[in-house]
Amino acid sequence: MAQPTHLTARSGRVLQGTVHAPGDKSMSHRAFILGAMAHGITEIEGLLEGDDVLATGRAVEAFGALTERLGPGRWRVTGQGGFQSPEGIIDCGNAGTGVRLLMGAAAGYGISATFDGDASLRKRPMGRVTDHLERMGARFDWSGDRGLLPAILTGGDLAAIDHVQTVASAQVKSAILLAGLNATGTTTVEEPEKSRDHTERMLRAFGAEVQVVDSGEGWIIRLVGGQPLTGTAVSVPGDPSSAAFPLAAGLIVPGSEVTVEGVMLNPLRTGLFDTWIEMGADLTIANRRQSGGEDVGDITARHSKLRGIVVPETRAASMIDEYPILAATAAFAEGVTVMRGIGEMRVKESDRIALMVAGLRACGVAVEEEPDGFLVTGGTVPGGATVRTAHDHRIAMSHLVLGLAAERAVTVDEPGMIATSFPGFVEMMRGLGAHVAEGV
Ligand SMILES: O=C(O)C1=C[C@@H](OP(=O)(O)O)[C@@H](O)[C@H](O)C1
Ligand SMILES: C=C(OP(=O)(O)O)C(=O)O
């Protein structure tokens, strides 16, 4: 079916209802990759069938695993206990997580592979992963600029390294740990600030021993090389980064009440919810339980009078993908919301600081840009703009949610990119009552 070139969101309708969060993207990538590295069968439920994760599924097939779709979100991966040299190029599409974790996993095997991605992924820095994989003994050749895709990997014969992170990046940490699994010696990753720990948790579920020492602010993670993985059952809970969009709409659209069920509540992912509560949001979490080794709960957002706050910089890693939607809600808050210490936003699918500043300004919101952050002064939002999303799903969804409470309609381009992380987003929002239409 042809994708619409634009989507437009309008205010005037109250949002009501209960929806289920789509599967967590970070865990879905890892379930495919660890399932392929393991011996035997991994059965996954709740997998996010978004474009990024499906690209990782095709990649692990190319590396020799068998993947079978058993039903919606239910997949079986038959791992060979290692990767083979693939035929053809490993196209990771739009997925930073996919390409960086796959490079780490593949580096441990004596194979060669060419990695590539879409126009957005080709602009993102790969050296933050490949420099360390090279220190371990892998080789990367670049057909264009060094550190930018496409990249040709020659893997195998790795030796463990001690790595001290300079940015709090779960992708860098995970790539090194996955390579370390097939390196000689003990790989150590030291984090100055904690980043999401799904790789560590899932490695344990696949039978590896991972030692984690809490150093206060961060973690020191040690992994002995040469440990085999065994296929296992993986249950993927709902993605808090996706749940954020319908919940945000519930907070800013007058008269609304929206519940998202089954949201993962790993404390390294819930910075946005803490921030909203500090801003005065009526956000409640019910039915806390365990699923797939993670805390999950059902979150209800009711229309709230929000006020601007200074978001603690130490929270950045726990909500780095959520600043675009936080900024959209901050546009309706009384006063200034200060978001700093988030320079990493500039190297995501787009320069997310620049894109949010441009989009909000086009919608009549007062925004100040800084090198590593931005400030939003809230109030009423005029809207009435078409926003350029630069191939970035979160920029698109954030502005559509903004449009649901703005005075005039808000349009976004390239809405097909939303399927990167949230296929079914538009249908879900319409089901809650939102006015989202194709076209300008
Ligand atoms: O490890 C992961 O699954 C992710 C880590 C984060 O990136 P960084 O590691 O670059 O911070 C995040 O932005 C991305 O969406 C998913
Ligand atoms: C940054 C993101 O993903 P990735 O790095 O995997 O492209 C995201 O989903 O917001």
Is the CB–ligand 1 distance for residue 320 below 6 Å?
yes
Quote the CA–CA distance of 331 and 363 in Å, as a whole number: 10
Is the CB–ligand 1 distance for residue 169 below 6 Å?
yes
The predicted model gives 98-125 an average pLDDT of 98
User: Percent of the chain scored above 90 by pLDDT?
Assistant: 96
Residue pLDDT, tens place only, 186-215: 999 999 899 999 999 999 999 999 999 998
The predicted model gives 8-12 an average pLDDT of 98
The predicted model gives 110-129 an average pLDDT of 97
The CA-atom distances, in angstroms, between 385 and each of 16, 36, 280, 372, 436 are 26, 45, 28, 26, 15
Is the CB–ligand 2 distance for residue 349 below 6 Å?
yes
Q: Is 269 labelled a binding residue?
A: no
User: Percent of the chain scored above 70 by pLDDT?
Assistant: 100
Residue pLDDT, tens place only, 39-83: 999 999 999 999 999 999 999 999 999 999 999 999 999 999 999
Residue pLDDT, tens place only, 224-256: 999 999 999 999 999 999 999 999 999 999 999
Sequence-ordered list of residues with C-beta below 8 angstroms from that of 6, at least 6 positions apart, any chain: 386, 411, 412, 413, 415, 438, 439, 440
Candidates 24, 52, 91, 321; catalytic one: 321
Q: Is 288 labelled a binding residue?
A: no
Whether the predicted pLDDT of 15 surpasses 60? yes
Q: Tell me what pLDDT residue 1 has.
A: 57
Domains and their CATH numbers in the chain: 6-23+238-438 (3.65.10.10), 25-235 (3.65.10.10)
Ligand 2 geometric centre to CA of 95 (Å) = 6
Ligand 1 geometric centre to CA of 208 (Å) = 22
Q: Is 30 labelled a binding residue?
A: yes
The predicted model gives 389-411 an average pLDDT of 97
Whether the predicted pLDDT of 216 surpasses 90? no
Mean of the per-residue pLDDT values of the chain: 97
- Only one residue has tokens 């970035």, namely 392
Quote the CA–CA distance of 320 and 424 in Å, as a whole number: 23
Instruction: Choose one of 92, 167, 349, 391 to mutate for the ligand 2 pocket test, by most ligand atoms within 8 angstroms of C-beta.
Output: 349
Question: Which one of the ligands is nearest to 422 CA?
Answer: 2
Is the CB–ligand 1 distance for residue 174 below 6 Å?
yes
The predicted model gives 16-33 an average pLDDT of 98
Quote the CA–CA distance of 244 and 416 in Å, as a whole number: 19
162 is catalytic: no
